[in-house]
Homo-oligomer: A and B are copies of this chain.
Amino acid sequence: MAEPVSPASDESAFLNREPLKLGLLGLGTVGAGVVRLLTQSRERVSRRAGRSIDVHRALVRDIGKTREALLPTERLVTDPDLIVDDPAISVVVEVMGGIEPARRLILRALASGKDIVTANKALLAEHGDEIFAAARHHGRALAFEASVGGGIPLIQAMTVGLAANQIESIAAILNGTCNFILTSMVANGASYPDALSQAQALGYAEADPTLDVDGTDTTHKLAILARLGFGAHVSTIDIPCRGIDRLDAADVRYAGELGYTVKLLALARRGEWGLMLRVAPTLVRHGTPLAEVRGPYNAIQIIGDAVGETLFSGRGAGAMPTASAIVADVIDVAVGRAAITSRVLADWSNAHTSPTLAGSAQVRSRYYLRFTIADRPGVLAALARSLGDHTISIASVIQHEIDETAQGDSGVPLVIMTHMATEADIVAALAEINRLDAVKAPAVCLGVLD
């Protein structure tokens, strides 16, 4: 039927093509990973891209700095214009991170006809409209698989593989640092500061972990997923966010007693009232897929109207997993698929009017509540009445017997798991309860993933 194919002639066909020249904006951990992967897998990547891939120039801060000799010194530049204005470079890989100068350089590179591969979630979250519009305006590819979920081919799943679906909800663990810390807190009963120190010692948390642990990084990623999955043009400030930095080991322990683990989740859910977006530490039932995601891994559960529930997991950070996504994007650009995806995505997202975001009166969940109360008669009754007044019903209660001599006046813990309630009712009830004389500390409140 088919004529015989000669592998030899194919190989020479692509080896004779001009190499694709990359400009690398940034040669930190991820940039070095990209160079390493392109080097160690040169033959495989060339074959899959249909031509060889050369890192033509890489932007560094200090050429004199001692670094692994991944690239000849003459390819290192400190002036980004030597990359974004170089006509020999056809693809710019942005791995410097942060808003500026990344934003300005990407816009310049697009204007001078270069395709873009970026891992920059903060930039896409905060300036997505501008960056996507510029790529469209100049007819260039903008590939960003590495911006969410590290090496997990998640952006591709949402834009291509699940394209026939209306996405109903997303629940995702998107920050490996937080998941590592939470895993330690669950496994060893460690306090948050101790678990953070351990993560830093093992290289899973940066010296300044603020943007990871306060939820900002997760919020950036959720903003990108909300754009792809729901056509939502939101910026970080639109997404209610709580990090793990004030999480108490006691709540991790009580959650465990109730059959749950605590995960920092990015949540998006479509409802009649609009789109709910939240980032918060959340109780996830033991034995469910997200609960079993441990250590520095990421996982994304996506529910689509046709496909049902899907889950994607893998390493969400690190030099080589991130490089895996970036080099896949470079291949996608080289073969011409990325340009199509970018064009299709622009049509697709421009067709949406951004959905209304749900307010706390529309957001419903079960809630875990921990109160610190005076150990005297009538307090539980007062709390229960206050919850009931706000139409919140109680599913279960934990109050352990305590060592009376040890407690002093600081109060005893009372843990309540509610049935479904609106966030607005919970907030109102807790405000009322926190004012009670018998309540010794503000209530802790965590949502539950159902």
Chain A residues packing against B (C-beta within 8 Å): 1-3, 5, 7, 10-11, 14, 37, 41, 44-45, 47-48, 50, 107, 130, 133-134, 136-137, 145, 151-153, 156-157, 160-166, 287, 289, 292, 299, 304-315, 318, 320-321, 323-325, 327-328, 331-332, 335-337, 340-341, 344, 346-348, 350-351
Contact = CB atoms under 8 A, between A and B. Distances in A.
A306 B152 CA distance: 11
Contacts of A41: 164-166, 305-306
Contacts of A341: 337
B134 A1 contact: yes
B145 A161 contact: yes
A351 B11 contact: yes
B307 A315 contact: yes
Contacts of A310: 151-152, 312-315
A162 B166 contact: no
8 contacts: A2-B134, A37-B164, A151-B304, A153-B156, A153-B161, A306-B324, A308-B320, A311-B314
Contact of A313 (B137, B156, B311): B311
A331 B289 contact: no
Contacts of A50: 344, 347
A330 B304 CA distance: 17
A14 B347 contact: yes
A302 to B, nearest CB: 9
Given A134-B2, A314-B311, A164 B324 contact: yes
A312 B336 CA distance: 26
Q: Which 4 A-B pairs have the closest CB atoms?
A: A153-B161, A164-B327, A151-B307, A310-B314
Contact of A340 (B11, B335, B344): B335
> Which of A151, A161, A289 counts the most chain B CB atoms within 10 A?
A161
Contact of A44 (B14, B166, B299): B166
Contacts of A346: 5
Contact of A156 (B48, B156, B164): B156
> Which of A1, A2, A335 counts the most chain B CB atoms within 10 A?
A2
Nearest to A130: B1
Given A157-B157, A337-B337, A337-B340, A164 B45 contact: yes
A180 to B, nearest CB: 15
A292 B337 CA distance: 35
A272 to B, nearest CB: 18
A327 B307 CA distance: 11
A283 B434 CA distance: 51
Contacts of A107: 1
A156 B160 contact: yes
A315 B308 contact: yes
Given A11-B351, A162-B324, A340-B340, 13 more contacts: A2-B133, A10-B347, A10-B350, A37-B164, A41-B306, A156-B157, A156-B160, A163-B327, A289-B313, A292-B292, A306-B323, A307-B315, A312-B312
